[in-house]
């Protein structure tokens, strides 16, 4: 297995600054970098920090290409809780292009396969930023996803739907299916950054980093990648063995 870099910071605000550092560094090194950027609570502070740096003239994302790593199916681009709405609300800085799967796609499977093909034609991710679900999912690759899992439509696990109930307004409003780039697409990234904060993530973070890679914890496949950094606050790292 390739060595992973584990960076532990005191708290979530510090994590956000460090995540912004990493994303801005990737764009500084390659202004037209292709980025995979996640949704969820963890990256919101980082996106605010990037926006502040852009306003101060300390960063420029106008040539960067951003791809969403997943999206809900059977919804619309204006459905509260979808990733399409998330990016409009939280990615408040100019980028060269922002590509998000269409939640209203008539054939969701055909659509996400074409989306992944477009990513590959663009050269693939220079940096893919991920969160980790409490069941170990990355993007919407739920437990049971193999290392070579392709982009596809998935049935969302109950834990994944429950995690989004607040943003959709209720559990019943959360779509049952999601479109996702595959584990294979993620592992093709030249660099990967994983963000996790809070004690509720500690058990799955430990499993993903310390247990043998397994389809039951899709994030554990990241152990096989040559350039992965885990950026954790102290609470999320609290179950890791001393290093």
pLDDT in tens, 23-72: 999 999 999 999 999 998 889 999 999 999 999 999 999 999 999 999 99
Banded pLDDT at 2 (limits 50, 70, 90): low
Whether 64 is covered by a domain: the verdict is yes
Whether 238 is covered by a domain: the verdict is no
Whether 239 is covered by a domain: the verdict is no
Report the distance separating Cα 36 and Cα 192, nearest Å. 9
| DSSP H/E element including 192 | strand 192-196
From the candidates 60, 74, 99, 135, give the one annotated as an active-site residue.
135
Task: Report, as an integer, the average pLDDT of 168-191.
Answer: 97
Whether 242 is covered by a domain: the verdict is no
Q: Which of 66, 19, 28, 69 is nearest to 46 (CA)?
A: 19
Whether 243 is covered by a domain: the verdict is no
Number of domains observed in the structure of the chain? 1
Sign of CA dihedral 117, 119, 121, 126: negative
Instruction: Confirm whether 141 is a catalytic residue.
Output: no
Report the distance separating Cα 124 and Cα 117, nearest Å. 9
Whether 95 is covered by a domain: the verdict is yes
pLDDT in tens, 128-174: 999 999 999 999 999 999 999 999 999 999 999 999 999 999 999 99
Q: Quick check: 217 and 211 in contact, CB under 8 A?
A: yes
Q: Quick check: 105 and 111 in contact, CB under 8 A?
A: yes
From the candidates 49, 71, 83, 137, give the one annotated as an active-site residue.
137
Instruction: Confirm whether 185 is a catalytic residue.
Output: no
Banded pLDDT at 1 (limits 50, 70, 90): low
Alpha helices in the chain (DSSP H): 12-29, 41-55, 83-90, 108-121, 158-163, 165-168, 183-187, 202-210
Whether 241 is covered by a domain: the verdict is no
From the candidates 49, 70, 126, 185, give the one annotated as an active-site residue.
70
What's the chain's average pLDDT?
96
Q: Quick check: 112 and 177 in contact, CB under 8 A?
A: no
β 127-130/152-155 pair status: unpaired
From the candidates 49, 126, 142, 233, give the one annotated as an active-site residue.
142
Instruction: Confirm whether 142 is a catalytic residue.
Output: yes
pTM of the model: 0.96
Q: Which domain holds residue 34?
A: 5-233
Whether 79 is covered by a domain: the verdict is yes
Instruction: Confirm whether 70 is a catalytic residue.
Output: yes
CATH number at residue 200: 3.40.50.1360
Q: Quick check: 133 and 208 in contact, CB under 8 A?
A: no
């Amino acid at each position: 297995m390739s060595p992973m870099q584990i960076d532990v910071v005191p708290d979530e605000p510090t994590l956000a600054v460090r995540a912004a550092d990493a994303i801005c560094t990737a764009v500084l090194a390659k202004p037209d970098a292709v980025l995979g950027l996640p949704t969820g609570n963890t990256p919101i502070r980082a996106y605010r920090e990037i926006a502040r740096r852009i306003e101060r003239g300390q960063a420029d994302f106008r040539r960067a290409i951003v791809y969403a790593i997943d999206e809900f199916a059977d919804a619309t681009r204006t459905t509260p809780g979808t990733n399409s709405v998330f990016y409009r609300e939280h990615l408040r800085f100019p980028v060269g292009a922002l590509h998000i799967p269409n939640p209203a796609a008539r054939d969701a499977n055909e659509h996400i396969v074409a989306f992944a093909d477009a990513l590959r034609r663009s050269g693939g991710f220079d940096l893919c930023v991920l969160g980790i679900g409490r069941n170990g999912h990355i993007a919407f690759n739920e437990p049971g996803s193999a290392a070579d899992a392709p982009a596809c439509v998935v049935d969302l696990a109950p834990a994944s739907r429950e995690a989004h109930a607040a943003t959709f307004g209720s559990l019943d409003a959360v779509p049952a299916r999601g479109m996702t780039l595959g584990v294979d697409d993620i592992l093709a990234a030249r660099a990967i950054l994983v963000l996790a904060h809070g004690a509720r993530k500690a058990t799955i973070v430990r499993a993903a980093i310390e247990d043998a890679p397994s389809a039951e914890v899709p994030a554990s496949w990241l152990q096989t990648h040559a350039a992965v950094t885990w950026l954790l606050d102290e609470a999320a790292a609290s179950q890791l063995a001393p290093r």
